Amino acid sequence: MPRRRRNPFYVLLGLAGLAFTLTATSYCLSVLRGVRPETARLARTGLMSVMDRHGTTILVGELVVLAIATVGAVALDSRSGDR
């Protein structure tokens, strides 16, 4: 039985999914900090200030990467005969 070729898009999907999960969690924490009055006064540092300024753009970019990698993985699997 021949050995199946690995699909490189699966690695990309795993990494992009992990990055998306971490970004979405950080973005939600940033939003919650802004909504709660007791934490709204705290200084924004590092990751939280990046999420405040660019969080939506980063999330949309990661979703685009996930969509492209998903289409690529499905296309490569169907082309190689895997189902």
Q: What pTM did the predictor assign? A: 0.78
Q: Would 63 be classed as within a structural domain?
A: yes
Structurally, the chain folds into a number of domains equal to 1
- Quick one: pLDDT at residue 62? 97
Would you place residue 2 in the very low, low, confident or very high pLDDT band (cuts 50, 70, 90)?
low
Q: Would 2 be classed as within a structural domain?
A: no
Q: Would 76 be classed as within a structural domain?
A: yes
Instruction: For 10-66, write each residue's pLDDT tens digit.
Output: 999 999 999 999 999 999 988 888 777 676 666 667 888 888 899 999 999 999 999
Q: Which residue has the higher pLDDT, 78 or 58?
A: 58
CA gyration radius, the chain = 18
H helices of the chain, in order, are 8-35, 37-40, 47-80
pLDDT above 70: residue 82 = no
**Do the Cβ atoms of 43 and 37 come closer than 8 Å?**
no
Per the structure, the complete domain to which residue 55 belongs is given by: 8-80
